[in-house]
């Protein structure tokens, strides 16, 4: 049965949302500081404090070294004196001796009241940091507490995250009290505790949504190779199967599109296309230009350039509005893409550069030593609009 003292500590721990051992550590620290106030010859590392769990009475021990001849009375104890406490002790052993002053419990209690609050705040900050660092990179559900020009603040339970302007999705409206999913992008330690940065615009927000909805991705039977995204507008997700006979695009889309529809509900108006990854760079580039139908692709693997020949009626679709489709395809594949009308192939009608793309999370397209032409496949992507 727990003592009244331990029950009181447990109540403090519950109120602060921390472990009871953290409260005990705070109490030991406060007690050690009280001892050092009255014994300035000692340093903090020279002493250790034990607290009786039944009564709460503190005992202070000085850390000493057993020696043959004492030259430092503060840190050394002779073998003969040490054996008065423990007859099994040997030379050069570490030894602790009780140096608790008379009436120290009352003195320590006064000092503890002054320092305990700060120690508890430090312990609370450490526990909150430890809690969130384990969830960094994961999806969390939070509630918007306030919307300011510097960011949207989201209550995550034990801490508050901030979604900066660059982490917000164009076209989304955030209001106080709104519940939403966010990606815990970064956890750092600051003067006021854990600093939590959250995002809905990061590409891994989409990655985690698919991991949540698609068991084959969770079980690593289907692998997301890379994601490129223009938040709120369009996203391309490249996938491949790690199990023979398993359709990765179909797995991500789900029966009658149920899985991808669940993702789209979270993304609002954003369009999502599932692209089949292929080790042949030409086929991969062709797939990445979905929904356009490609006639053929010629790739220069040294210069990382792909000349894509498309039917005349597919040119505008391959390029996309304001060049978006070819731009995302270039970022996804890592190739500069020249869109060419198959009827008039001499001059590119659209050029997309992969520059500025983030480093891929997965495997890049295979490389070779020389250029190689590749025929375009009839399919290899699925696209769904929000």
Do residues 314 and 342 make contact, with C-beta atoms less than 8 angstroms apart? no
Residue 194 and residue 274 in one domain: no
- pLDDT class of 368 with cuts at 50, 70, 90: very low
Give the span between the Cα atoms of 331 and 229, in whole angstroms: 9
Tell me the average pLDDT of the chain.
Answer: 86
Summarize pLDDT for 152-195 with one digit per residue, the tens: 999 999 899 999 999 999 889 999 999 999 999 999 987 667 89
Whether this prediction's pTM lies above 0.75 is answered by no
Q: Please give the radius of gyration of the chain, using alpha carbons only, rounded to the nearest integer.
A: 32
With 70 as the cut, is the pLDDT of residue 378 above it?
no
Residues 380 and 293 in one domain: yes
Cα-Cα-Cα-Cα dihedral of 359, 365, 368, 372, to 10°? Answer: -130
Phi, psi of 37 (to 5 degrees): -60, -35
Q: How many domains does the chain have?
A: 3
- Containing H/E element for 147? strand 139-148
Higher per-residue confidence, 109 vs 58: 58
Model confidence at 361, pLDDT cuts 50, 70, 90, reads very low
Mean pLDDT of 101-115: 73
pLDDT tens figures, 49-86:
998 888 888 899 999 999 988 899 889 999 989 998 88
Shared domain for 184 and 256, answered yes or no, is no
Asked if 222 contacts 240 with a C-beta cutoff of 8 angstroms, the reply is yes
Band of residue 329 on the pLDDT scale cut at 50, 70, 90 = very high
Task: Show the tokens assigned to 171.
Answer: 């076209």
- The token pair that represents 35 in the structure block: 């001892």
Q: What is the pLDDT of residue 16?
A: 73
- Looking at the fold, whether 209 and 300 belong to one and the same domain comes out as yes
What pLDDT does residue 366 have? 31
Enumerate the β-bridge partners of residue 229.
235
- Model confidence at 372: pLDDT above 70: no
Q: Which of 98, 133, 168 is the last residue of a domain?
A: 133
In the prediction, which pLDDT does 225 show? 96
Domain of 92, CATH number, reads: 3.30.1480.10
Q: How many C-beta atoms surround the C-beta of residue 86 within 10 A? A: 11
Local confidence band at 263 (pLDDT 50, 70, 90 cut-offs): very high
Q: For residue 173, what are the domain limits?
A: 139-200
3-state secondary structure 176-243: CCCEEEEEEEEEEEECCEEEEEEECCCHHHHHHHHHHHCHHHHCCCEEEEEEEEECCCEEEEEEEECC
């Amino acid at each position: 049965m727990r003592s009244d003292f331990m029950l009181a500590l447990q109540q403090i721990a519950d109120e602060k949302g921390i472990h009871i051992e953290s409260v005990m550590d705070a109490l030991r620290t406060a007690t050690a500081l009280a001892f050092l106030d009255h014994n300035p010859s000692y340093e903090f590392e020279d002493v250790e404090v034990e607290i009786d769990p039944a009564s709460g009475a503190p005992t202070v021990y000085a850390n000493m070294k057993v020696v043959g001849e004492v030259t430092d009375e503060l840190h050394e104890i002779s073998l003969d004196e040490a054996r008065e406490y423990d007859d099994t002790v040997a030379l050069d052993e570490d030894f602790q001796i009780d140096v608790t002053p008379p009436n120290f419990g009352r003195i320590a209690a006064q000092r503890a009241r002054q320092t305990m609050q700060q120690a508890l705040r430090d312990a609370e900050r450490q526990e909150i940091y430890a809690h969130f660092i384990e969830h960094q990179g994961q999806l969390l559900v939070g509630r918007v507490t306030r919307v300011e020009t510097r960011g949207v603040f989201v209550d995550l339970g034990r801490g508050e995250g901030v979604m900066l302007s660059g982490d917000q999705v164009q076209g989304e409206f955030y209001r106080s009290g709104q519940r939403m999913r966010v990606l815990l992008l970064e956890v750092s330690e600051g003067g006021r505790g854990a600093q939590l940065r959250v995002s809905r615009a990061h590409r891994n927000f989409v990655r985690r949504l698919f991991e949540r909805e698609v068991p084959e991705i969770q079980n690593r039977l289907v692998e997301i190779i890379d994601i490129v995204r223009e938040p709120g507008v369009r996203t391309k997700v490249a996938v491949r199967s790690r199990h023979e006979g398993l359709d990765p695009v179909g797995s991500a889309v789900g029966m009658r599109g149920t899985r991808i529809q669940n993702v789209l509900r979270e993304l609002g108006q954003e369009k999502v296309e599932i692209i089949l990854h292929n080790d042949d760079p030409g086929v991969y580039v062709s797939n990445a230009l979905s929904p356009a139908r490609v006639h053929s692709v010629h790739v220069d693997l040294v210069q990382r350039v792909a000349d894509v020949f498309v039917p005349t009626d597919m040119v505008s679709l391959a390029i996309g509005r304001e060049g978006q489709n070819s731009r995302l395809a270039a970022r996804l594949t890592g190739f500069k893409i020249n869109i060419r009308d198959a009827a008039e192939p001499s001059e590119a009608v659209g050029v997309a550069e992969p520059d500025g793309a983030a480093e891929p999370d997965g495997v890049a397209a295979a490389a070779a030593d020389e250029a190689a032409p590749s025929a375009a496949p009839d399919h290899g992507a699925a696209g769904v609009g929000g």
